[in-house]
Structure 1
Amino acid sequence: MRNKIRIPKRPVDTTMSKTTIPVFIYKPEILRTDRSLVVKNHTVKPVLRTLLFVLTLICITSAAGAQTAEELFNKGLESFKWQKSEEASEYFQQAAQADPNRDIYYLYLGIIYHQSGKLQEAEESYSRGIGLNGGERDRLLLNRGNLRTAVSDYDGASSDYSAVIDAGGPLSSSALLNRANMELNRSSFLLAVGDYTEYLVREPESPQKETIEELLNLLNTRLASDAQAAATAAEQALLEEERRLAEEAARAEEEARRAALMEEALQSLSSSGEDTKSISAGSENIREDFEDSALED
């Protein structure tokens, strides 16, 4: 006798108006043997999970044609609330396809990718939303800046944060704090001090005020120490340069003195050579005279 395994029906979703949810009956392959009909339980559960996932996608796809982009987006938010990332992602994609001019769809789609570690897809979603120049532009820029900071794209992150700060909207203080943190991460301490200080001016009642003030004290101490070290190094470099120039001048003076002595010696030798030649010439004449007088004798 053939066994049937029925999948329990999913709860009816009242938000899907007049949408028929197909019910699948799984009929497993049954291995006939001489002894009995055998169905392995450990092979049934994975298949059930796969069918449930396929069923979910079919429900979403079949409902897409009957629902507006806003309805799809709201369903995505509900899935997002219950941390059903794959389901939420599918709804947000459907919403963006139905109405590609709503930047909020790309914002949440980017957040889903971001949280799932799909950073390239997340940045692409944020960028598409930013390009629409809609009401969520600042939040999209802030999120993309955070993503770029995470992958050490500090120049790109700084550009995103600066755009939010310059816009002067409600998120400008958050962008300022994030930019300060980013500058601290890449050891741009002077820029970090400037941003932290400006943040406290804008948000004097910030719950992080005490922590930021302590950090500013540490950074200012570090900057003062670095400045002192730089001044000492510059002074040492100046002294080294002066010593080098003095040594070069001394060497040049010594070389000039030696050259003068050599010139003097050469002149002295030249003078001595002329005197010797004159004496030799005179001696030769005397010798000739002496030899002639001897022959005459």
Structure 2
Amino acid sequence: MKIKVKVILFTAFIFFAAYLSAQNSGAGNSGLSRGESLFKENNAKDAVQVLEYEILNGQISDNSYNFLGLGYYQLGEYDKSIDAFRRGMKAQPDNKKLLSYNMGNTYYAMKDYASAVSSYSEALNADPLFYDALLNRANALLMSGQLVSAKDDYIDFVNKCPDNPQRERIELLIKALEEEIARREEEARLLAEQNKAQWEEYDGNLNEKRKESFSPDWEKVEAGIENNKKAAENPEWERINGENPEAVVENKTQEKITASDTENEGTRVDWEEFEHDGSSSLAVSEEVVDDVEDWMTFSDDELDEMKELEKQSREEHEKWLEEERRRNQELANREAKVRQKEQEAALEDERRLREQLLEDMRKSEEERRKKLLEDVANSLQGSDSTNLTSGAEDLIEYDLEGELD
């Protein structure tokens, strides 16, 4: 019985000590719940568990969801942090200013700059005088590449917070943004002019090709054929055959006539000279003349046939010559096109290589300048949301004026 009493007393002592410990902890953080106190003690891991338990049991204060989201933020569990802030805005819409601001900081840490800009804008809608959200929104706009909007927010922040300790740095950043915006606009203008000039040149060449494609090539070919015909009727035929067939026929006809006359003279002479020889000699002489005349005489049909053969032969030869000229011309055209394409390909490769080098240099310089601006924006970013400071502590020093001149 005495043992049971001792156990009961010991258990009561343990609970009493735990109660005193809880009271002492609450006294050190007046008005804070156990979970909030753990967060203040930088014990985020235990804080989020206790805060989840307190919220589940209805022990909700004005900062329960805010500390819960910040606890997950410190643990790097950004998705749970976003979820805690959203739950807080749904359960406590009056605390939208603080919860939206901290949600924006979480999105910023996640590099979701578009969502960060939206969250900071919601915080500013809840309280237009919440200038920390204005500065952080400017940072998020810069990180997302919206330089003009970022510059406008920085200018607005400096005008509304002229005594801010970061004013001089922000003014340097504004000047750097103005120069970067002007540089990009000039690059865009030059690129547009270059593209326009290239298109006009291409369009002009295309129109010229369309105009030239109507008939000049055909006219050149046709004119060449006509010139060849006028220059020499049958030069190739004469070189191959060595003589004009018509001249051959005419010569043969003339020879026939001359031979006939010669024979007639010979006949008359023979007749006059040998008339007294008798009829037998005359018969023999006449027979010889008849044989010669038969051998040298061409009928009209034969002459026509010879002319027709000559004509056909000439036509076939001209067709062959024309086909050879056409094949040679096509071969020359193909070779010229191949050479032209090779030259164009070489020039195009050289141009692309040069443009790629310039583009790489431009991108490298643009990335360097962008990295510099982003580093400055990150140094200005306020993320300590427990006391709503602007995050000006531990700033990184950059020679803005020298780097971005």
Q: TM-score range by the shorter chain?
A: 0.5 to 0.7
What is the CA-CA distance between 1:184 and the residue it aligns to?
1.6
Structure 2 equivalent of residue 272 of structure 1: none
Gaps of 5+ in 1: 1-8, 18-70, 270-297
* Secondary structure, aligned partner of 2:33: helix
- Rg larger in 1 or in 2? 2
- CA shift in 2, pair 1:205/1:153, >3 Å: same
Structure 2 equivalent of residue 86 of structure 1: 45
Structure 2 equivalent of residue 153 of structure 1: 112
- Matches of residues 142-291 of structure 1 in structure 2 within 5 Å? 142-171=101-130, 173-255=131-213, 256-262=215-221
Q: Distance in 2 between matches of 1:219 and 1:161?
A: 21
Q: Distance in 2 between matches of 1:165 and 1:266?
A: 86
The Cα offsets for residues 29-73 of structure 1, whole Å up to 9 and x where unpaired, read as: xxxxxxxxxxxxxxxxxxxxxxxxxxxxxxxxxxxxxxxxxx995
Asked if residue 14 in structure 1 is aligned to residue 20 in structure 2, the reply is yes
Gaps of 5+ in 2: 1-13, 24-29, 229-405
What is the CA-CA distance between 1:157 and the residue it aligns to?
1.6
Q: CA contact under 8 A between 1:72 and 1:95: conserved in structure 2? A: no
What is the CA-CA distance between 1:103 and the residue it aligns to?
5.5
What is the CA-CA distance between 1:125 and the residue it aligns to?
0.8
- Matches of residues 94-113 of structure 1 in structure 2 within 5 Å? 94-99=53-58, 104-113=63-72
What is the CA-CA distance between 1:16 and the residue it aligns to?
4.6
The Cα offsets for residues 208-240 of structure 1, whole Å up to 9 and x where unpaired, read as: 111110001111111111111211122222222
The one-letter amino acid paired with 1:98 is N
Question: In angstroms, what is the RMSD of aligned CA positions?
Answer: 4.1
Asked if residue 127 in structure 1 is aligned to residue 86 in structure 2, the reply is yes
Q: Distance in 1 between matches of 2:186 and 2:104?
A: 34
The alignment covers a number of residue pairs equal to 235
The one-letter amino acid paired with 1:14 is L
Q: Distance in 2 between matches of 1:75 and 1:101?
A: 11
- CA shift in 2, pair 1:15/1:233, >3 Å: same
Q: Distance in 1 between matches of 2:60 and 2:74?
A: 23
- CA shift in 2, pair 1:86/1:232, >3 Å: closer
The one-letter amino acid paired with 1:214 is L
Structure 1 equivalent of residue 35 of structure 2: 76
Q: Distance in 1 between matches of 2:164 and 2:70?
A: 26
Q: CA contact under 8 A between 1:73 and 1:92: conserved in structure 2? A: no
- CA shift in 2, pair 1:257/1:101, >3 Å: farther
Q: How high is the sequence identity, in percent, across the aligned residues?
A: 25
Indicate the structure with greater helix content: 2
- CA shift in 2, pair 1:251/1:169, >3 Å: closer
Higher relative contact order (CA 8 A, sep 6+): 2
Q: CA contact under 8 A between 1:73 and 1:91: conserved in structure 2? A: no
Moved over 4 A (4+): 9-13, 100-103, 262-269
Query: TM-score under structure 1 normalisation?
Result: 0.62
Query: TM-score under structure 2 normalisation?
Result: 0.47
Q: Distance in 1 between matches of 2:79 and 2:100?
A: 15
